[in-house]
Amino acid sequence: MPRQAKAKVTPIWRKEARADHIYRVAAEIMCRKGYEATSMNDIAEAVGLTKAGMYHYIQGKEHLLFQIMSFAMDMVDENVIAPTREVADPEERLRALVQHHAGRIMEVGGQVTMLLEETWALTPAHRRIIRGRKREYFEIVRETLRQLASAGKLRAVDPTVATFSLFGMINWISRWYRRDGKIQKDVVLKDFTELAVCSVLKTPSLSGARKVRALSTR
């Protein structure tokens, strides 16, 4: 039995170079049914494995949830933070952060992002890790807003409140955006970025928007 399970799992896990197929499927099921109502049998059946085959890769449901959250934060590190780390101008950096983050959610779907809200189900050790990684990202955005405030470009709002609000706007994309919707992705991304940036800046510059669009097409 173990050999048969391994033979079935290998091609599934090679379908995606970076993100494991099982994480995406599990995230979809957990979002649809709820974490508590989702069983390992549900996930195993959806990915075409036996339950024993699932446990060859996953220690349990809580461990799987932690891995999904870690995968989500890896995406943030690689696709959002890394491309904007060297952007010196805070306005350009803010626009790039919003655009990259929103664009990534639109590309891969929102299920993984939505599960980041389920930290209550993690063990204390896993919860500290995920919250720590989320806090690091939060501080990057808040520091960007503080720099904008020092330059007189931020609206008369507290940078912490503005940071939470921006994250709320970005994460809510997973609730309403549909890749098969009527509005093209590029249009949604452009309009959303403008709305998000304009919500915190006094007078967003057109030159900054053009520079970010140029960076995103490289």
pLDDT value of position 213: 53
Which of 82-91, 130-139, 177-186, 205-214 bottoms out in mean pLDDT, i.e. has the lowest? 205-214
Mean per-residue pLDDT, 41-69: 82
Question: Which structure tokens are listed for 66?
Answer: 């932690």
Length of the chain, in residues = 218
Share of the chain above pLDDT 70, in %: 83
Per-residue confidence band for 206, with pLDDT thresholds at 50, 70 and 90: low
Summarize the confidence of residues 57-78 as an average pLDDT.
Answer: 86
**Structural domains of the chain in order of their starting residue, each with its CATH number:** 1-58 (1.10.10.60), 68-216 (1.10.357.10)
For residue 20, what pLDDT band results from cuts at 50, 70 and 90?
Answer: low
- 25 pLDDT band, cuts 50/70/90, is confident
CB-based contacts of 159: which residues, under 8 Å, 6+ apart?
Answer: 142, 145, 146, 149
Angstrom distance (rounded) from CA 8 to CA 12: 7
Q: Read off the pLDDT of each residue in 32-47 and give the average, rounded to a whole number.
A: 86
What is the model's pLDDT at position 197? 96
Q: Is the pLDDT of residue 16 over 80?
A: no
Q: What pLDDT score was predicted for residue 15?
A: 38
